[in-house]
Amino acid sequence: MFPRLAILISLFVSGNVLAEVPENTSAPEDDGWTTLFNGKDLDGWTQKNGTATYEVVDGTVKGTTSEGSPNSFLCTKREYGDFELQFEVKVHNKLNSGVQIRSQTKDKPNGRVNGPQVEIEAGPGQAGLIYGEASGGWMSAPEKHKAKHEHFKNGQWNSYKVIAKGPRIQTWINGEPVEDLVDEEKFKSHPKGFIGLQVHGIGKKQGPFSVQWRNIKIREIGD
């Protein structure tokens, strides 16, 4: 017999009045992880730049292109410095996308989003490498961004892991290591900033294309 049921029976037999106490159904915190997207609404996020649409569809953040729009970003209201970030993403094969980390805006608060971006694109390609959005182009070494890999599964959900610690950024896609970039000079101007979900701009008479994210969570790293 379950212990809780035995207690209830004992109370009933003894004639005591039962005051039903709800069980604790909340999940304990998991080693410092914070869920950035609750699966229901975009609370904690704000859009910067562009006119792409962001909506919650079947427990995912769905971003859809808008013809003629520049790059759009759905950004966390909080800033993060050193952290481990995990998320899953699925993207249309013809759409380039990315996740901004430690990013900022020029001429705050409504200026151009800039900073390191973890690349999202169909394979074989450069998914998982680091691009400098409005920050001078590729941060990953030329020999890496000129090469192509097939760790990203086209048309499927892909799991990303990103660790940013000081001047070092590491990325994995579906458990496979992609980037391990250490660069004091490139990252000193972006020690912390927001996380941003990018929908890339598209040309005329293209799209609409969509990208979806889910299971977005972050764990801040101390000294």
pLDDT at 31: 82
The model carries a pTM of 0.84
5-16: pLDDT as tens digits: 443 334 333 343
Which pLDDT band holds residue 109 (cuts at 50, 70, 90)? low
pLDDT for 89 beyond 70: yes
pLDDT for 17 beyond 90: no
**Amino acid identity of 157?**
W
pLDDT at 9: 36
C-beta of residue 115 within 8 angstroms of C-beta of residue 131: no
Q: What is the mean pLDDT of residues 24-48?
A: 80
Which pLDDT band holds residue 108 (cuts at 50, 70, 90)? low
179-215: pLDDT as tens digits: 999 999 889 899 999 999 999 998 888 889 999 999 9
- What Cα–Cα distance (Å) separates residue 151 from each residue in 86, 121, 130, 175, 203? 16, 11, 15, 9, 27
Domains of the chain: 26-220 (2.60.120.560)
pLDDT for 1 beyond 80: no
Question: What's the token pair of residue 72?
Answer: 């759009």
Share of the chain above pLDDT 70, in %: 85
- What Cα–Cα distance (Å) separates residue 215 from each residue in 27, 36, 59, 90? 16, 8, 9, 12
pLDDT for 27 beyond 80: no
